[in-house]
Structure 1
Amino acid sequence: MTNCVTLQLKKRGCEVTMISYKPFYNTLRQKGFTEYGLIFKQGLSANTIHRIKKGEAITTKTLDTLCSILECKVEDIIVYEADE
């Protein structure tokens, strides 16, 4: 696996990358935020950050919250990567 921050789906025994959180960390850095700040200053749960790091699913409500905190668009947090 080349990127540890991707959401994966099992398909016929193979891993297929679909959603990537690659843009999240770029946006976080550009906006001057840290994971610590999101958790302890903005009230985001540590579990949410853990899920993003592990490439696991987060809710659209969480996406909405992140967009509000970071003042960004959804595509600044996640990107769809088609199976090639």
Structure 2
Amino acid sequence: MREKNITSYALFKKGFSKATYYSIQKGNSISTNTVNQLCSLLHCSVSDVIEYIEDDPS
């Protein structure tokens, strides 16, 4: 969002759910539909939105 200079308010105006936005901020999991919606709104690829981090094996 910083790279695109898009605020959370702008996402909300485009129809992105506030509840989903705040859930993501808290680190909760999201659906592929949500990733698709973010990519569409931000005009970016999936790798710009999510990153794979391996779980700690311990």
| TM-score normalised by the chain length of structure 2 | 0.87
CA deviations 1:6-56 (Å, max 9, x no partner) are xxxxxxxxxxxxxxxxxxxxxx011110111101x2111101111110000
Gaps in structure 2 of 5+ consecutive residues = none
Higher helix share: 2
Partner of residue 35 from structure 2, selected from 63, 66, 69: 63
Give the AA of the match of 2:33. K
| TM-score normalised by the chain length of structure 1 | 0.62
User: Structure 1: how far apart are the matches of 2:14 and 2:5?
Assistant: 13
Gaps in structure 1 of 5+ consecutive residues = 1-27
Partner of residue 36 from structure 1, selected from 9, 17, 24: 9
The alignment's C-alpha RMSD in Å is 1.1
Q: State whether structure 2 residue 41 is matched by structure 1 residue 72.
A: no
- Higher RCO (CA 8 Å, separation ≥ 6 residues): 1
Higher strand share: 1
- Name which one, 1 or 2, has greater alpha-carbon Rg: 1
In the alignment, which residue of structure 2 is the partner of 1:83?
Answer: 55
Moved over 3 A (4+): none
Identical-pair percentage:
45
